[in-house]
Amino acid sequence: MPANRPSVLVVEDEAAQREVLAYNLQAEGYEVARAENGDDALLLVEEAPPDVIILDWMLPGVSGIEICRRLKSRTETRSIPVIMLSARSEEGDRVRGLETGADDYVVKPYSVVELMARVRTQLRRIRPTTVGMRLEFEDIVLDSETHKVTRNSKPIKLGPTEFRLLATFMDKPGRVWSREQLLDRVWGRDIYVDTRTVDVHVGRLRKALCTHGGSNPVRTVRSAGYALG
């Protein structure tokens, strides 16, 4: 396992947007912290400085702009990249957002895929060696940036669902995941999928992981779910 996974703080008052972001960031292997207002965000940054902050402009109480200004005025927090989210699209606002010291500026509605790319860009700037997060478990290596998986250095072909399943397992080896938890994490709770679907995809994942031989690393835990190792 990598010593420390990059962490992202999501500051967004709209719960649904916050969760979608957190979900996608976790799926990419980041540690995620959430704040729904500026005061909580500033406290969290003080307690555990994240590697990147995704900051909504429109927040109740202290605005995103003001938070950004404060973060960028302190020596201890100045170097944390801030990606500002805003519903405003006028060029003047964009300039104003960047003038407060934000490192990047994304207009809502944004594409999650694009936002994830922007997060990686910011991380690459500050921690060039840890980007392209590699998760390792025994002879399995998963690169969350290139979406490549190898076992014993040989490539393993996975569909997107199997990839996300494996990333979830590799995130916490040994942890027992219930089918419901896997559904939440891999498929997202908004989509109705039968729990048996989980079994089907775990089956495919196991088969793929054994393409070049080796034993099946995904355990079935009776009446509980699945675990890696």
Burial 175-212 (b: 16+ CB within 10 A, else e): eebebeebbebbbeeeeebeeebbeebbeebbebbeee
Q: With residue 86 as reference, give the H or E element that holds it.
A: strand 82-86
Q: Minimum distance between the CB of residue 59 and Ca ion, rounded to whole angstroms?
A: 6
Closer CB to Ca ion, 51 or 56, in the complex? 56
Closer CB to Ca ion, 13 or 184, in the complex? 13
What gap in Å lies between CA 25 and CA 127, rounded to an integer? 17
Q: Minimum distance between the CB of residue 30 and Ca ion, rounded to whole angstroms?
A: 21
Read off the amino acid at residue 62.
V
Sites for Ca ion among residues 120-139 (CB under 5 A): none
Q: Retrieve residue 215's tokens.
A: 């034993």
Q: With residue 201 as reference, give the H or E element that holds it.
A: helix 195-209
Q: Minimum distance between the CB of residue 87 and Ca ion, rounded to whole angstroms?
A: 8
Closer CB to Ca ion, 33 or 156, in the complex? 33
From candidates 58, 126, 141, 210, binder to Ca ion by CB under 5 A: 58
Q: Does 162 bind Ca ion (CB under 5 A)?
A: no
From candidates 13, 19, 93, 184, binder to Ca ion by CB under 5 A: 13
> Do residues 133 and 99 lie in contact, with contact meaning Cβ atoms separated by under 8 Å?
no
What gap in Å lies between CA 188 and CA 184, rounded to an integer? 5
Q: Does 56 bind Ca ion (CB under 5 A)?
A: yes
Q: Minimum distance between the CB of residue 78 and Ca ion, rounded to whole angstroms?
A: 24
What gap in Å lies between CA 95 and CA 44, rounded to an integer? 27
The dihedrals phi and psi of 144, each to the nearest 5 degrees, come to -75, -15
Closer CB to Ca ion, 35 or 135, in the complex? 35
**SS3 state at 124:** helix
Kindly indicate which of the ranges 10-18, 89-97, 118-126, 155-163 contains the residues binding Ca ion, using the contact rule CB under 5 A: 10-18
Q: Minimum distance between the CB of residue 68 and Ca ion, rounded to whole angstroms?
A: 14
Q: How far apart are the first and last CA of the chain?
A: 13
Q: Minimum distance between the CB of residue 42 and Ca ion, rounded to whole angstroms?
A: 16
Q: Does 103 bind Ca ion (CB under 5 A)?
A: no
> Do residues 110 and 85 lie in contact, with contact meaning Cβ atoms separated by under 8 Å?
yes
Kindly indicate which of the ranges 25-33, 35-43, 54-62, 136-144 contains the residues binding Ca ion, using the contact rule CB under 5 A: 54-62
Q: Given the rule CB under 5 A, which residues bind Ca ion?
A: 13, 56, 58
